[in-house]
Structure 1
Amino acid sequence: MTDVNDNRPTPFRVLVVDDDLTARILATHSLEQEGFEVLLADNGVIALQTFQEAQPDIVLMDVEMPGLNGFDVCRQLRSMPCGKLVPILMATGQDDIDSVRQAYAAGATDFVSKPFNWKVLGHRLNYMIRASNTTEQLRQLQKSETRLGNAQRIARLGNWEWHLKSGEIYWSDQFYQLLGGKRGRTQTGMRTFLRCVPANERPQLRHWFKQLLNCRYSGFMSGINHSISLAGQDVKNVQHQAEVFCDDQGNATIIAGTMLDVSELKRAQDQVLKLARFDSLTGLSNRSVFCDRVQLAIDQAERRGGLGAVLFLDLDNFKRINDTFGHGIGDLLLQEVAQRLTQSVRYTDRISDDSDAGAAEQTDLDHRVDLYTHNKDRQVRVPLVARFGGDEFTVLLPEINQIRDAENVARRVLESIGLSIDLAGHEVVITPSIGIAIFPHHGENVDSLMKNVDAAMYYVKHTGKNGYELFVKSMNVVAKRRLELESHLRHAIETNELSLNYQPQVDMRSGRIVGVEALLRWNSLQLGFVSPVEFIPIAEETGLITPIGEWVMREACRQTRQWQLDGLPHIRVAVNLSVRQFAKQNLEKLVSQVLQDTGLPVNCLELEITENMLMDDVEGSVETLHRLKALGVQLAIDDFGTGYSSLSYLKRFPIDRLKVDRSFITHVTTDPGDASVTQAIIAVAHNLGLSVTAEGVEEEAQLAFLQQYACEEVQGFLFSKPLKADDLATLLRTTNGYMSLKTARTTED
């Protein structure tokens, strides 16, 4: 102990506890001469109080005292936090063996017999204090070493020292454990260590140690990452750090190092890398990686004068799958498409040479990891499949001999993906629209190439879907037109650009106009009249069909009710439901609300659903149709005969009417096949108690055919083209709601 003012040692404090005044006087005189600071207490209570206040270094205490005896005081001192380690010397009678036992039992450090040799006692007290301090230091050192060992074990950090002159190497316990060994059982040495390192990494590690050995100044630090491979265990990834200590001549004498197990960190980094580079749902490369690889492939093609190709796929009507079955089934579909696409694009879809003969034998993961070495000089030889986003997929063919090679791949993809897919008990058929772009002809960088292949894909979308097309410059005009339409369509409702035309539906027996079909029209302020064939698919794809469809239903019901209020004949109005509308869970609530808001009687509204919409989810369709039917509205299947309904399904649908598609009516008098189909549809409907409406009737001969087979209603230009609301009102007034079946006419264009 040292005084902070004069740096002289601070004397040890001794607390003397004795009820004998003479003993206290002698103790004070003798112990102060030996350099102690003496504290006195004549009973146990004062002893406990003085101990707490003064914190002595040692206690000399008589056993026999009034009140609390020495044993009681000793026990209470040991119960105090500050009294657990302080030496306590108990004074007993010379032959009082029983008191000695009790003293130890109470927690005394040692005992001394009376009478005292004060000079010897002073040396004994000094020894006991120093021994106690040394013991405490050792105890704290042991705790520190234990804590350090625990910390290294938790951190998976081992340390080592290499004394170069003696050749002695020290390894910590955790270093042994990292190497799969134990102290005393595993030989310490460089050879033992290197045997735990994979053979292909040893030369690099030896070179690192050589650099450390050749260092000429103290404090030089260096690090290296490598692996530890132990038999029967997973490979560990470790981070090695070392520091060199040199003598005055600059010779390395000691190298000390640490080795940290970073396997979990490495796995976490790999997972982050995987998330950054791969699509989590399908396991395919993602958009970012694909674009990087395309640019490398373009650069390579320009250097070598070769060709490559990019395929861009979009799944047709995928949103309908999500809306009908839910996103869970949609995700399963995307995973299945990814698998089929990968199988369709083979490693052999490239120019091969002997140096690439083993590429196809790489594991998929090794191959994909290899792809992400961003070395601009690296050759891109193997095809890459990626999920570009949503239901869009891309394929990179880095080397092709001719354009036909890319088309062959596109055909394989069409055949593979177009097969029916069983998803959790739901049989689904999905088709892709595929655009193809060749580089460097169709783009000298990734942005221009992807823009052009996207245009080719959308060209397929708008010319029938389920096919592929090679990019040509005129497709950019189509793509630009589509973006323009989508932009203006988003504001068509609020700018009051949408309107409805109504085409009459005529009863074949009486000639009475019994209904109209509401047909959507768009007259854009900027673009002029836009055909429904152009904008309806865009509305479907973008989701705009939902608000537009609600507007159509509401406007059609409002106008029909207005005709009734104007005293015109009561007729029904037919409204086409979109896929998205039919898939909505609250469709019947929307219909009910529209009828309530407009005041149209429920039996005056007919909802038309296409055949394919119903067959996407038969069970769900049956439930939806029954809920709608419960409202009292009429239900019709539009374009019947173009889908794949079976009679057993048709019987389950609570519908009122079948509408024969115009494609059959057009050639019903010239094509025996169309005539047979039309006749069969009418017969099936009648057997099921349904009525039939034929669309697209334009000739007297077609009308006669339909009359022959008792078709209930007809609709077409033979009677009237679609009319604006005011024009239809005029027609109803002038004809009193009846059309002549003998002199059927077309209204003025």
Structure 2
Amino acid sequence: MSLRQDGALAAVLSAAVDAMVVIDHKGIIQQVSASVERLFEYSPLECVGKNISMFMPAPDRHAHDGYIANYLNGGRPKIIGIGRKTTGRKKTGQNFPMHLSVGEFEFAGETYFVGICHDLSDYNQAIEKLHQAEKRYKDIVESQKHFICRIDKLLNITFANTSFLKALGMPYQEVVGSQLKTVINKSYKNLSLSFNELFSDPDLYEINIKIEMKTKGPTVITDWSFRKVEDQQNDSKELQGIGIDVSEKEAAILKAEYMRSHDQLTGLLKADSLSERFNGLAHHENNYSIYHLDLVRFGQINQRHGYNFGDQVLVDVTTRIQKILPKGSLFSRAGGDEFIAISPIEDQAYAIRLGEELLAVFSEPYSLADQNHLLDTKIGVALFPADAGRISRAIELSEVALKDAKANGGAIVFYEKESHADSLRRIIIEQELKAAFKNNSIDIYLQPKIDLGSRKTCSYEALARWKHAELGHISPAEFVPIAEMNGLGSILDFYVLRAVAKILSDRLSEGQACIPVAVNITAAHFSDINIFDYLSDILKEYSLPPDLIELEITERAILSTCAIATENFKRLRQAGIKISIDDFGTGYSSLSYLKKLEVDEIKIDKSFIDDIEERNGEVVIQAIMTIAQAYGLTVTAEGVETAAQARILTDMGCTLGQGYFFSRPIPWQEAFM
């Protein structure tokens, strides 16, 4: 394979921003990057096969081949692996300053060189303008708000402008002529090494460093940029520095970091910073107890007396607990009325005693509006590393124990693996579900809805499927209720809706035909005043016609809908989005809501289809179909699993069927094959 066929090299050249040129040992150009044309104004075709000297002005043009021969014969490299400033020549004959770095490599037994060329014109112009300004307008330098100074090779200060002197709180005579270290707060050794390197390295032009300046007032934190300049008086090089006072900026960053990791009301760590702080400070060979504390019925304080009184209680709790926690403890606010404490312990008996002390302190009366209030407190406890080898998992286990205490009436409950396994799994699934939304690790499966007359697929229902890296396949019957119980139901709806929209949009952009896909929506989401706008935005973002997205809501959910949901039904259908009632017949309610709600389809629940081969079952399904037909609704039979069921439904005039007899849910990629 020839060098020009090397795909890796071609990819590098294609992506290069600076001009890149590959030559052989004779100086003949083998390949160039497209960016060569921007820099030298030659097209790649004009370059390949020519001598590299075409990019050079005299005398470099005539001497270049000799440099290569000298190096290949054992001479000392003057540029390879080093880099230097040089002059380039454009196709028009114009010379320009550039920085050249050269590397050497072998390919198929032959030696090649690759040069990277960076145009220094703008940089040099800026430097030149700065030089001119320095020479002509020293008074302007003196009036600059930025700090300006110069230092010589001995790191003595040879110049300092007025702003710098004011920041230091020192007169000119005291600063100029003194060592730089006299005005630096710390880390002088590392700084001196950086300055010496800048002086000695011919290819190093500038360094940027942050320095704490020693002043007669508060410490000033400064961002400095130092570069080499000529001292015209002594014909020697100096370093000129331009500094910006970033003390306020640094203080703001520290404050922002503090606000990110600490609760504003109590000053305690936030729960999501607790593990990080523990891992950074703790001696992990010790034993620790993790206390997850909850003020039961704390919401009543806010309701009766207002949030100011509630905040006062939380601050009071913080003060009380901090007084009794042993040295080496960490204390955080987990949100609302919950707190987490991590304390070093000798053994479990000590953990129990400390838990009882915490409970006693929490249970003392709180004085509010000249009245004493008692609050019930629950505490869940886990041990580290006895219960978990990671502190983050131990905190999760303490939450499991707390939920047990709240559910079963215990004041203090220690985590026990055997009795808390189910609770722990629910918490883990909740947390991992949040991560799955961010990582797009929930898959979309499709189950077809079949026209019972023609047996052709006329639409699909989208179903969420989740295979966790550690937990394996997690049934939607498990993770969907957990999502809904923890306020994640709407997020799951959004996730599936957006995923389906993208799938359909991609297929349309590829020129593929599409049929509608139905997405299940929770009752809470249907009652969201913004759902119509959200769906409209998705359709617009993915350029989808509204008839490709259908929505399904369970009958039980419909029975709890409000006026907002009813209005949403109406607006969605007016926009061309069809709505189906899922699990129809399980709501145990009047069928009058069919008359009130704007829907297009009912899906008969599988429990009725299971009984269709019995006389009573067939009669019930026929009655449902008669009612649906009276309201002009399409009927879909769910859970069709046998040929006999499909035949009876077809004979009864049922429109659509869905179930394992036709197809199990399959990955969307397979459904559209």
With the shorter chain as reference, the TM-score category is 0.3 to 0.5
Give the number of the structure with larger relative contact order, counting CA–CA contacts within 8 Å between residues 6 or more apart: 1
Structure number with the higher strand fraction is 2
Give the TM-score, by structure 1 length: 0.36
Whichever of the two has the greater Rg, that structure is 1
